[in-house]
Chain A
Amino acid sequence: MSLGVLLALPFLGALLCAALYRSSRTVQALAALGANTAAFLLLLSFAPGVIGAGEVVTAKLEWVPSIGLNANLFLDPLGWMFAGLILGIGLLILIYARFYLSPADPMGRFYAFLMLFQGAMLGIVLSDNVLLLIVFWELTSLSSFLLIGFWRARPDAREGARMALAVTAGGGLALLAGVLVLGNIAGSYDLTTILGEREIIQSSPLYPLALGLILVGCFTKSAQFPFHFWLPHAMAAPTPVSAYLHSATMVKAGVFLLARMWPVLAGTDMWFYSVATVGLVTMLIGAAIALFSNDLKALLAYSTVSHLGFLTMLFGFGTPMAAVVGIFHILNHATFKAALFMIAGNIDHEVGTRDARRLGGLLTLMPITATVGIVAAASMAGFPPLNGFLSKEMMLEQAAHTIWADLSWLVPVLATIAAALSVAYSLRFLVHVFLGPKRLDYPRTPHDPPPGMWLPPALLVVLVIAVGLFPAAIAGPLVQSVSGAVIGAEPPYFALKMWHGFTPALLMSALAIAAGAAILWRYAAAESVWTRLPIPVAKALFEGFMRRLVETSYSLDSAIHNGSLQRYLAILFVTAVVLAAGGALTGGGSLTGDRATIPANPVAIIGWLAMIGATAAVIWAQRRRYLALIFISVVGLVVAMGFVHLSAPDLALTQVSVEVVTILLLLLALNMLPRQPPPVSSARRRARDGLIGAVGGVAAGLAAWAVMTRVPNDPISSFHWANAYSGGGGTNVVNVTLVDFRAFDTFGEIIVLGIAALAIFALLETATRGVSGYRLLHWKFETVNSPERHPMMMVVATRLLLPLAIIVGLYIFLRGHNLPGGGFIAGLIFSIAMLMQYMASGFEWADRRARVTRHSLISWGVIIAAATGVGAIVFDAPLFSTAFAHFQLPLVGEFELATAMLFDLGVAITVFGAVMLALAELSHVAQRAEGTIEDDTPMDVDPSRGPREEPA
């Protein structure tokens, strides 16, 4: 429980700081400090148990138990040590940052990010579940991204942040894969369980995979070769961030994980050769680059890379003793490196530059800063009696005994060279910055910063000295206890002391110091050699890779999504056909079934010929649109006749009426589409499309043939046939199916129509404005039009036909339940009748006389249909249940009333409303194109009124 509180405190601090974004800087700092201090104190309270007695504090909480992702926390000595570093150094950094940041910097945001990062870091070291660990791991990547990019206006900050995120979060993904594999080998994702499964894990065939993936995660985070390049660019962050992330926390996460996993992963050749080698190489390269870096922060950054390599190498050795040394050095490095970063920050802050070539002689100008810096740098160099010396000695001792591929000299020699380089760059920091003559060209006049900025590093330097002098007393118990946790057993005997006697390590150490001093002495010469070395710049490689990634993505994207509907449709058709063919071929079976076919009579064949001819004509006339419309009518007519022939009178009725409405619609729209023939596509394109069409057509035809020639498989429609009259009260089974058995489909269908009308309305309502309105206003007709708008003959005929059509429509509606017909067809007939009226006497004239709004017709239609359905619920029958009864009235005789007819009424009304809304709106727009004419007569020629306008 208290572990939960411990973990929550930094996050709470982050929230608090974010919430206080308007408060004063001090309040914000106090909020962050408060949270951090509380956490630190809480952590200290665990010390007696964890460090003293070796207890492991746990807190268990199930999160996603089904995959073993638990929010389990545990605090063992290793975790305690890291938590101590995180919270302890964090505390100092918070104080330091309060004074370091300028008033222009948003302090609240900074602290929020920093506390977020702290929480994430703490999460890593407290997790008892590897999946949970990944959560925090990635959270550190994210929060460090924010911190590095804190000075968002600086391009280097943005780039550095992105690079750090890409590398560390990307590595985190590899780590995720790794721990998933590991967890599956071990049978659990709980660390405590995994740590007990060394045998199983190391003998598993998946061990190399898991190891490799986990190491990628560790190496990226800890900036190990070849992933080392991101770290220096992360130095664009404000110095407190660098000090925090790159001394004690972020980059140590990788090392932490190496230590954490050490008991189960270490000890194999694979571990040794991969981890130790990478560490060694990194140590060398980092040190070399650090030596020749002029930016103090870059120098420190590469030094960090080098020291992380140092640690990695130690853990890579796989021996308990090496692990002990590693743990000790983690502590030491954190102290002197954090101090050094802050010192570098102070110099930058006060002098206005971090370029080592422009510095020197600061000892007298900034005595406190310089003193602290010199001690810390000396520790980094490994000078006695500082803590850096102790752990470096021990490392060299370990290196001296390490045999790499039967080469006993390799590791000691390389380690010594690295140590020498380390001495050199440390001395360079020390000498080129603080010593030497004062310079006159500093950007600013340097003096010591306020205590808030030198106290934190000073405090750390006190530790550096104290540990150096009294290692066993101060660090001994901690190292002892942590080593036990890492090794998973009683650690080997070790002595933290200055003098081990004349050991090979001492010799190596001395050599290193001498060589390092020599290098610094001949620094200029060394530098000129270095600059001539052809070293590939990792950053450029990385950026090149990223650029190529973006370019590839871009060309992939534009190659695939070229915006051509023609291509998209071709893809769709081809995919469907290929899939269908694949299904048919793998499924097998026969094409033709056992059902007897019906011989075709000559009339049917002639209809078929008409259909083929008309279809061919449509294709031929596709660019002569008016003709195409006439031809397509024939197709519709033949289809309707086919429905007549094949016992589908309802379909024929519907087809006939839909057909005419569609044609009217197309004619209305056609009038306003450009009439000049569009360019034809190339012969190749046409051939391709023809091929796709032919294959698709054949596929559809074969499927139709295959089904039609098969004996039906006991279709459910026999139930519909049997129950239409008895249960649905109608003899027209199709209609009963529509309004009763499958009324829900019909309900959806009228809604589709209603929505179509709404969408059409919404589209056209605006057509008279803007660009479109302009285009309409400046419409140029391409042909001569007759001046006669409302021919008399037509008007006269319509006067008779409108009532006739309405009565026919009503009849069709009423009989629909028993004979072909129904609401939909009736609705269409009413629409056609009204459209006839519109055509005859004009939109304005007819519309002014219309009494209902078309919108409300649609609404009412839907409401009636739905309400009919709901009516059933009132009687606790399911939605759309129907009732019907036969009534006997005097004079009238027997008649039937069915609720389904009410539903059908809703259908008819909706259809009528929708069709009228769509076509009326279209006519309205068309009329706009012609300009409005005062029009109050139903026909142009009306002899009964005499000539309308006397000729001149």
Chain B
Amino acid sequence: MSLLVEIIVSLLLVLGGGFALVGSWGLARLPSLMTRLHGPTKATTLGVGSCLIASAIYLPWTTGTYTAHEFLIALFLFITAPVSANMIAKAHIHRQGWRLDPNPADDIVEGLPQTGGPTGWATFWCPPGRQWMGSSLVDGDCIEPPGGSGAS
């Protein structure tokens, strides 16, 4: 029994550490932000997840006290990680779209695909007639952002 637990826990730990490393490795070596963005999900999901499971198994087994906080940590991470990623992606396509810090290796150069609907992507789309707030570069109505817009 104890050997089994030890093996499972050890595997989970190695797996967790490994995936955290792989995620960060991806972050470091992949060529563009959008590709790098895939790395950290590994750190989040399997990396931390495995460690948490390992802890959830191992600590009660050794100390005799049960703890459930690992699940809460996981819950929080699972709720927040996609939103973080989404926001980072938005920030990125915004900066790239407006050529604010162009990076030739990046994915937006050839432009975003069309949405398929009448509007553009939320990051760029400004309904006609509405002032594009907070932009001194853009004075009147919407202008066509460089990357991706609605079909119309």
Contacts and interface: CB of A to CB of B under 8 A. Distances in A.
The listed residue with most A CB atoms (<10 A of its CB), out of B80, B127, B150, is B127
B136 A781 contact: yes
Interface in A877-934: 930-931, 933
A793 B83 contact: yes
A791 B136 CA distance: 22
Interface stretch (B6-14, B22-30, B48-56, B86-94): B86-94
B90 A784 contact: no
Interface string A773-784: 000000011111
Nearest to B125: A787
A106 to B, nearest CB: 65
A847 interface: no
Contacts of A933: 133
A541 B123 CA distance: 80
Contacts of B63: none
Given A786-B90, A788-B123, A947-B118, A781 B134 contact: yes
Interface string B78-104: 011011001100100010001010000
B87 A794 contact: yes
User: Main secondary structure on chain A at its contact with chain B?
Assistant: loop
Interface stretch (A39-47, A133-141, A615-623, A797-805): A797-805
A781 B135 contact: yes
B92 to A, nearest CB: 11
User: Main secondary structure on chain B at its contact with chain A?
Assistant: loop
A948 to B, nearest CB: 7
Given A793-B82, A940-B122, A947-B119, A785 B128 contact: no
Interface residues of B, number: 34
A948 B126 CA distance: 12
A787 B118 contact: no
Nearest to A804: B76
B134 A785 contact: yes
A931 B83 contact: no
Interface residues of A, number: 28
A949 B127 CA distance: 7
A951 B118 contact: yes
Contacts of A804: 75-76, 79
A801 B79 contact: yes
A792 B83 contact: no
A952 interface: yes
A756 interface: no
A786 B87 contact: no
Contacts of A801: 76, 79-80
A788 B122 contact: yes
Given A793-B82, A794-B87, A786 B123 contact: yes
B58 interface: no
Interface string A86-97: 000000000000
Nearest to B83: A797
A941 B135 CA distance: 21
A782 B134 CA distance: 9
Nearest to A788: B122
A797 B78 CA distance: 11
Contacts of A941: 122
Nearest to B126: A787
A784 B76 CA distance: 33
A791 B124 contact: no
Contacts of A808: 72
Nearest to A949: B127
Contact of A782 (B80, B82, B122, B136): B136
Interface of B: 72, 75-76, 79-80, 82-83, 86-87, 90, 94, 98, 100, 118-119, 122-130, 132-138, 142, 150, 152
13 contacts: A781-B136, A783-B135, A784-B98, A784-B138, A786-B94, A786-B124, A791-B87, A792-B122, A793-B83, A800-B79, A801-B76, A930-B134, A951-B150
Given A781-B135, A793-B86, A930-B134, 14 more contacts: A782-B136, A785-B133, A785-B135, A786-B90, A787-B126, A787-B133, A787-B142, A788-B122, A791-B90, A808-B72, A931-B133, A948-B127, A951-B128, A952-B129
Nearest first, the 8 closest Cβ-Cβ pairs linking A and B are: A787-B126, A785-B134, A949-B127, A797-B83, A793-B86, A780-B136, A781-B134, A788-B122
